[in-house]
Amino acid sequence: MKITLTAKVKILPDEETKSILIRTLHTYTSACNYVSVHLFSTQNMNKRALHGELYYELRRRYALKSQMAESVIRTVLAKYKSLDSLHKPWTLIRFNKPQCDLVWNRDYSLKGDKFSVGTLDGRKRMSFAKPSSSLSGKLGTAKLVYKHNKFYLHVPVTHEVPNISEEDIANVVGIDRGIRFLATCYDSNGKTLFHSGAEVKTKRAHFLELRRELARTGTSSSRKRLKAIGQRENRWMRDFNHCLSKTLTEHYPEGTLFVLEDLSGICATTENVKTRNRYVNVSWPYYDFEQKLMYKAAFRGQKVIKVNPAYTSQTCPICGKREKANRDKVRHIFRCNGCGYTSNDDRIAAMNLHSMGIKYLMQSGESKSLAGGAKPTVPDVTPTIQ
Ligand SMILES: [Zn+2]
């Protein structure tokens, strides 16, 4: 299996190279805008046609090297194609950010501890801040980015990780994601882990309040701050997800199957989610967490599946009785009206996800390594919460 991660590498060009890079980026984006205007009016997304119409003009007008002219056409074309595939209206795309695409081994390469990058003035060598170990893998088309007076290379690195087959799985962990508990995990040994959501809840409420205040002010400086706060929050959230997914993948052994609820259908039914909770319920942090868990798991010889979350918090994991009244949402208690089994409601969901993982494995024809885990074991105590 292949996994591609983007390494964000801070590059350290000398003063002379810096000004060359700035000039290169400026020229590149100007050329992109030139192509964009053309493509916008002709609406012809045929690469060969575009090449025929613009290639020589690009080289003449912007003094671009042959490869860079081709990259410009490809960059603009990709943007318009994504507009098309996302069914967005046909609009003129502007290239404002100083960045350019660099094809591996053609526009940039890595030799020893230095990157060699193609510029308007030929190839320039520069050192970088990140250890080269994170760059071990197959490198793809990178983006040269200039931000806050610093230069970065965003390099996609493809890693080869071993395929995990169902036979390798010896432990199943159901992960219920929520607001009170970011993650409630139930494993094949009948152990439950709670990861409190208190910190995230407080922090996000704080960011939300800050944003509301600034939105009310409505001045241009407050709009700027608003944007900065949004970026700070996203960074913080990503970092948090990074830590949580790391903790989980490191806590459980190799050969673990993580079972998550598939929340992708949730957006379609937002009317069921109270407005107050929508902000925390249906948003990208869940998706971000999933992505991070998936790739970290793959590196550790673990696997992640997503299952339909319907009724996971209403069904008794012991006797299988499904009833809405089983769950007391306010007191966070699940009490089965059939067999009387009682536990914390988030834990019940995790137990059901665990069972669904077992079912998945049995359906894929493999259960030998899971003799002990096939039934969720009845836990002796309800864990203390917070
Ligand atoms: Zn029951």
Q: Write down the pLDDT at residue 6.
A: 86
Q: Domain total for the chain?
A: 2
- 144 and 179, same structural domain? no
Q: 262-308 pLDDT, tens per residue?
A: 877 554 444 444 444 444 445 678 888 998 999 999 999 999 999 98
Query: Is residue 252 helix, strand or coil?
Result: coil
Same domain, 140 and 8: yes
Q: Over 90: is that where the pLDDT of 367 sits?
A: no
The pLDDT of residue 275: 43
Cα separations in angstroms, 126 against 15, 106, 114, 350 = 11, 16, 5, 50
Predicted pLDDT of residue 382: 33
Which of the given ranges, 132-146, 210-224, 337-351, has the highest pLDDT on average? Answer: 337-351
Residue owning tokens 């040269």: 144
Q: Please, which residues have CB within 8 angstroms of residue 192's CB and are 6 or more apart in sequence? A: 184, 185, 186, 347, 350, 379, 383
Q: What is the pLDDT of residue 279?
A: 42
Same domain, 184 and 294: yes
Query: What distance in angstroms lies between residue 85's CA and the mean position of ligand 1's atoms?
Result: 48
Q: Kindly state whether residues 80 and 137 are assigned to the same domain.
A: yes
Q: So what's the pLDDT on residue 329?
A: 84
Look at residue 240 and tell me if it is in a domain: no
pLDDT tens digits for range 93-118: 999 999 999 999 999 999 888 999 99
Strands 181-186 and 171-176: antiparallel
Q: Which of 160, 182, 208 is the last residue of a domain?
A: 160
Q: Tell me the CB-side half-sphere exposure of residue 305, using CA atoms within 13 A.
A: 23
In this predicted structure, what is the pLDDT of residue 46?
Answer: 93
Within a domain: residue 213?
no
- For residue 356, is it within any domain? yes
- Both 155 and 181 in one domain: the answer is no
Question: CA–CA separation, 257 vs 362, rounded Å?
Answer: 13
CA distance 134 to 143: 17
Mean per-residue pLDDT for 331-360?
A: 92
Classify residue 269: in a domain, yes or no: yes
Q: How far apart are CA 226 and CA 200, in angstroms?
A: 19
pLDDT at 71 over 90: yes
**Residues 100 and 75 placed together within one structural domain of the fold:** yes
Residue 100 lies in a domain: yes
Interval between CA 266 and ligand 1 midpoint (Å): 27
pLDDT bracket for residue 131 (50, 70, 90) = low
Residues 92 and 182 in one domain: no
The pLDDT of residue 141 is above 80:
yes
Same domain, residue pair 54 and 186: no
Q: Residue 320 Cα, ligand 1 centroid: separation in angstroms?
A: 6
Average pLDDT, the chain: 86
- Classified as helix, coil or strand, 309 is coil
pLDDT at 132: 55
Separation of alpha carbons 376 and 287, rounded Å: 27
pLDDT 10s digits, 210-239: 888 888 887 888 888 888 888 898 889 889
Question: Strand ranges (DSSP E) for the chain?
Answer: 2-12, 99-102, 108-111, 114-119, 122-128, 138-139, 142-147, 150-160, 171-176, 181-186, 192-196, 256-261, 303-307, 327-328, 333-335, 342-344
Distance CA 237, CA 176 (A): 18
Q: Is the pLDDT of residue 372 over 80?
A: no
More confident residue, 138 or 131: 138
Q: Are residues 71 and 51 in the same domain?
A: yes
65 and 155 co-located in one domain: yes
The DSSP code for 287 is: H
On whether both 102 and 183 belong to a single domain, the answer is no
Instruction: Report if residue 187 sits inside a domain.
Output: yes
**Could you give the CA distance from residue 358 to residue 97 in angstroms, rounded to a whole number?**
48
In a domain, 222, yes or no: no
The CATH number covering residue 171 comes to 3.30.420
Matching residue, tokens 């319920």: 281
Distance 351 CA to ligand 1 centre (A): 13
Residue 371: pLDDT over 60: no
Q: Which of 160, 180, 214 represents a domain boundary (last residue)?
A: 160
Same structural domain, 178 and 55: no
Q: How much is the pLDDT for 213?
A: 87
Residue 328 pLDDT > 90: no
In a domain, 302, yes or no: yes
User: 338 CA to middle of ligand 1, Å?
Assistant: 5
The side-by-side arrangement of strands in the sheet containing 342-344 is 327-328, 333-335, 342-344
pTM over 0.85: no
Query: For 361-372, what is the mean pLDDT?
Result: 60
Report CA(375)–ligand 1 centroid distance (Å): 14
User: Could you list the residue range(s) of the whole structural domain that residue 319 is in?
Assistant: 166-197+252-373
Which phi and psi angles does 278 have, rounded to 5°?
A: -60, -40
Distance (Å) from CA 356 to ligand 1 centroid: 16
- Rounded to the nearest whole angstrom, what is the distance from the C-alpha of residue 73 to the centroid of ligand 1? 63
User: Tokens at residue 58, please?
Assistant: 């690009």
DSSP conformation letters of 157-214 = EEEE-PPPPGGG--EEEEEE--SSEEEEEE-TTS-EEEEE-HHHHHHHHHHHHHHHHH
Partners of 102 in beta bridges: 142
| pLDDT at site 133 | 56
What is the Å distance from ligand 1's center to 188 Cα?
19
Last residue of a domain, one of 160, 181, 208: 160
Residue 386 confidence (pLDDT) above 50 = no
